[in-house]
């Protein structure tokens, strides 16, 4: 069953339209009566899904909804958005490029590789149809181990039992990048490729020694694990970051503050990026303009702030941070009207 309007568990690649038709009781007869818009958002225990669900609810306004000024939705008239569970950034970008979903959230470094046809996308070539709606929130690479673990650095992973993230996820891509920068290979340890919730459960019961997970902090899966068992976050040092930046300037220095997770009272240096909301260049300009406007209205901001502390990081002033593909023309129009500095190519003049 759906957790809330605008959020639905659909397996990777599954169609959400049929489900939404059941929710609404009928299929729409015209675009004016109802238009569906999917947001690919990784595993249900991650931050993409959490924030994607809030955004889906905020931008939706089915036919017959009360006016915004009378307590109804302030979203796009006739739009029904849904958050779809996927394997993560890599799958989301491929689904968008192939027209299987309307939009998705993805890590800024992965988006840049897809657009340029480099890194893991070198074999399939550039996905030049990708465009950005917004930069949503900062993300951090997090390596979680049990509180009594002997693992203190990436080098200590040798000989251990570790999950790198599920196939198709940005976590797996960047875990491999970080390990390579630290001089560690997957042959040096017992590697698993698990969903976040499964990895967290296995760490809790002691059948797994640690797992990588990328997301805005706090990540629900890590927060729940920290509430149930003592854990630590393994720091990533500056030398590893320097090596990673040789493959992408999207990587930044990041710090996970003390108190982010129960029982962790020290700050943890790591690697940061941005979570970008991506859409196809083929999406209608007027629709993306309306969606962007709905994303940044006051009602959406109030809704996001109920999902603290991550929701409050989704701010208009940060909407162009870390963009690694051009803005969609509809989004570019909104930001120009809002007075944000957007160049002719639709990319923020100063890329972070």
What pLDDT, on the 0 to 100 scale, is given for residue 347? 52
Give the model confidence (pLDDT) of 99-157 as tens digits. Answer: 999 999 999 999 999 999 999 999 999 999 999 999 999 999 999 999 999 999 999 99
Residue 31 belongs to some domain of the structure: yes
39's CB contacts (< 8 A; 6+ apart) are 52, 55, 56, 81, 82, 83, 84, 101, 102, 103, 104, 105, 277
What pLDDT, on the 0 to 100 scale, is given for residue 235? 97
133: CATH = 3.40.190.10
Q: Are residues 207 and 323 in the same domain?
A: no
Q: Are residues 285 and 319 in the same domain?
A: yes
What pLDDT, on the 0 to 100 scale, is given for residue 5? 40
Residue 1 belongs to some domain of the structure: no
Q: Could you give the CA distance from residue 144 to residue 156 in angstroms, rounded to a whole number? A: 13
> Does 33 score more than 60 pLDDT?
no
pLDDT band at 45 (very low <50, low <70, confident <90, very high): confident
Q: Could you give the CA distance from residue 17 to residue 23 in angstroms, rounded to a whole number? A: 10
Residue 29 belongs to some domain of the structure: yes
pLDDT band at 29 (very low <50, low <70, confident <90, very high): very low
Q: Which of 138, 83, 118 is nearest to 276 (CA)?
A: 138
Final residue in a domain of this structure, among 249, 273, 297? 273
> Does 86 score more than 60 pLDDT?
yes
Q: Are residues 146 and 133 in the same domain?
A: no
**What is the total count of domains within the chain?**
2
Residue 19 belongs to some domain of the structure: yes
Per mean pLDDT, which range of 39-43, 48-52, 162-166, 306-310 is the poorest? 306-310
Q: Are residues 110 and 178 in the same domain?
A: no
CB burial of residue 203 (10 Å; 0-12, 13-18, 19+) = buried
Per mean pLDDT, which range of 21-30, 145-154, 266-275 is the poorest? 21-30
Final residue in a domain of this structure, among 254, 273, 292? 273
Q: Are residues 165 and 181 in the same domain?
A: yes
Q: Over the chain, what is the mean pLDDT?
A: 88
Final residue in a domain of this structure, among 217, 241, 273? 273
Q: Are residues 43 and 80 in the same domain?
A: yes
Give the model confidence (pLDDT) of 70-83 as tens digits. Answer: 778 899 999 999 99
Q: Which of 36, 130, 144 is nearest to 89 (CA)?
A: 130
Q: Which of 114, 115, 94, 116 is nearest to 168 (CA)?
A: 94
Q: Could you give the CA distance from residue 211 to residue 193 in angstroms, rounded to a whole number? A: 9
Q: Are residues 147 and 215 in the same domain?
A: yes
pLDDT band at 24 (very low <50, low <70, confident <90, very high): very low
Domain ranges, residue 292: 7-137+275-337
What pLDDT, on the 0 to 100 scale, is given for residue 247? 81
Residue 218 belongs to some domain of the structure: yes
Q: Are residues 173 and 71 in the same domain?
A: no
Give the model confidence (pLDDT) of 315-350 as tens digits. Answer: 999 999 999 999 999 999 999 999 998 875 545 433
Residue 291 belongs to some domain of the structure: yes
Q: Please name every residue paired with 289 in a beta bridge, in sequence order, or none if there are none.
A: none
Q: Are residues 286 and 240 in the same domain?
A: no
Residue 349 belongs to some domain of the structure: no
Q: Are residues 324 and 218 in the same domain?
A: no
Q: Are residues 58 and 150 in the same domain?
A: no
- Torsion region of 327: left, alpha or beta (phi above 0 gives left; psi -120 to 50 gives alpha): beta
Q: Are residues 117 and 145 in the same domain?
A: no
Residue 346 belongs to some domain of the structure: no
Query: How large is the average pLDDT for residues 242-258?
Result: 91
Q: Please name every residue paired with 37 in a beta bridge, in sequence order, or none if there are none.
A: 81
Percent over 70 (pLDDT), the chain: 88
């Amino acid at each position: 069953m759906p957790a809330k309007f605008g959020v639905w568990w659909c397996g990777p690649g599954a169609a959400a339209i049929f489900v939404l038709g059941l929710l609404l009781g009928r299929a729409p007869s015209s675009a004016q009566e109802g238009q569906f818009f999917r947001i690919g958002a990784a595993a249900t225990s991650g931050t993409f899904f959490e924030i994607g669900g809030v955004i889906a609810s905020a931008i939706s306004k089915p036919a017959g909804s009360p006016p915004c000024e009378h307590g109804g939705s302030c979203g796009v008239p006739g739009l029904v958005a849904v958050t779809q569970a996927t394997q993560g950034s890599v799958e989301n970008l491929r689904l968008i490029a192939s027209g299987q979903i309307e939009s998705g959230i993805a890590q800024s470094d992965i988006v840049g590789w897809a657009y340029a046809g480099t890194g893991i996308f070198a074999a399939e070539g550039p996905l030049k149809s990708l465009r950005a709606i917004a930069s949503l929130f900062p993300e951090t690479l997090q390596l979680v181990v049990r509180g009594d673990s002997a693992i203190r650095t990436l080098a200590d992973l040798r000989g251990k039992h570790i999950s790198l993230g599920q196939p198709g996820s940005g976590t797996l891509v960047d875990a491999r990048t970080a390990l390579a920068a630290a001089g560690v290979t997957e042959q040096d340890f017992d590697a698993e490729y698990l969903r976040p919730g499964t990895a967290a459960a296995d760490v809790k019961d002691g059948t797994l020694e640690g797992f990588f997970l990328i997301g805005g902090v706090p990540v629900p899966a890590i927060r729940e694990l920290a509430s149930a068992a003592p854990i630590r976050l393994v720091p990533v040092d500056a030398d590893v970051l320097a090596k990673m930046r040789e493959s992408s300037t999207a990587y930044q220095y990041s710090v996970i503050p003390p108190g982010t997770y129960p029982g962790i009272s020290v700050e943890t240096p790591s690697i940061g990026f941005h979570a970008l909301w991506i859409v196809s260049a083929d999406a209608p300009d007027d629709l993306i303009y309306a969606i962007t406007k709905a994303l940044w209205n006051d009602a959406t901001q109030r809704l996001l702030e109920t999902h603290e502390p991550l929701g409050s990081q989704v701010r208009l002033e940060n909407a162009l941070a870390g963009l690694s593909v051009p803005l969609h023309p509809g989004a570019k129009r909104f930001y120009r009207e809002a007075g944000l500095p957007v160049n002719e190519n639709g990319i923020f003049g100063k890329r972070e």
